[in-house]
Structure 1
């Protein structure tokens, strides 16, 4: 693997670990997750915590479940990139790209439709982390 492709390959692995880390944060810090999404979506870090207790508990549950899904997805992506990319680069690039699009399109569309454009911006940031290495690795000739 060339030095240039190694750079993009590492970037892609780090992006997968970042997904896992964000998911772990959501699992381990309900208060931090509430503050993050309160600030992002309502411009108030304590907005969600002021909801009635059953609503806060339900939101915490959803955040932990989403965090667990992110950890699992991040691990699956990492293992695929780490162990199969060098064997089947086009297939792995397609799987990673399609999995991101299958999440990003409905999530972003609903975020915009429901008026939570800030979540759509967060999605764009997430996509922006993954697509540079995916695009770059597709352009690098294979030996």
Structure 2
């Protein structure tokens, strides 16, 4: 949901993201399984991302073609997009990939990869949970 909003916002152009786009995103957060505190943290994180991150400056990963052969296509694409749109850093992405390479006897299941990505991103928004609007 967050990644979809970021992709839409960056493709549309940040100046063209309007209040109805933001309200729709916030409404989706409210109806998802996250708590109100988590929804606020995600909102603050998203605002900072839109203000500070520039996906056009991200370079393709040097091992991306190799990784695509090992990891399931759609899941690897989502991981690459998460890096491109600033949800996780390149180092965090490499750590996720290494986790799976170290356990090469275990097949890379899409749900497990997405779970690892979600866990890392959840840690990234931790600092935004304590923000209070006065």
Rg comparison, structure with higher value: 1
- TM-score, structure 1 normalization: 0.27
**Which structure carries more helix by proportion?**
1
